[in-house]
A = this chain, B = another copy of it.
Amino acid sequence: MRTLTTGDIAKFCDVNQRTVIRWLDKGVLKGFKLPGRGNNRVKLDDFVSFLKQNGMPIPEQLAEDAQPKVLVVDDELAIANAIRRTLKPLDVSIEIANGGFEAGSQLMMLKPDLMTLDLSMPGMNGFDVIKFVRSTEEIANTQILVISALNEIELGKAIELGANGALSKPFDNDILRQAVSDLLSIKA
Q: B-contacting residues of A (Cβ < 8 Å)?
A: 1-3, 12-15, 19, 22-23, 28-29, 32-36, 41, 43, 50, 54-57, 59, 75, 99-109, 121-125, 128-129, 132, 136, 138
Contacts and interface: CB of A to CB of B under 8 A. Distances in A.
Nearest to A139: B105
Given A1-B12, A101-B103, 18 more contacts: A1-B14, A1-B59, A15-B34, A19-B34, A19-B36, A32-B54, A32-B57, A33-B55, A35-B50, A99-B100, A99-B123, A101-B129, A102-B104, A104-B105, A105-B105, A105-B107, A108-B109, A121-B123
Given A99-B123, A100-B101, A100-B104, A55 B32 contact: yes
Nearest to A100: B100
A129 B125 CA distance: 19
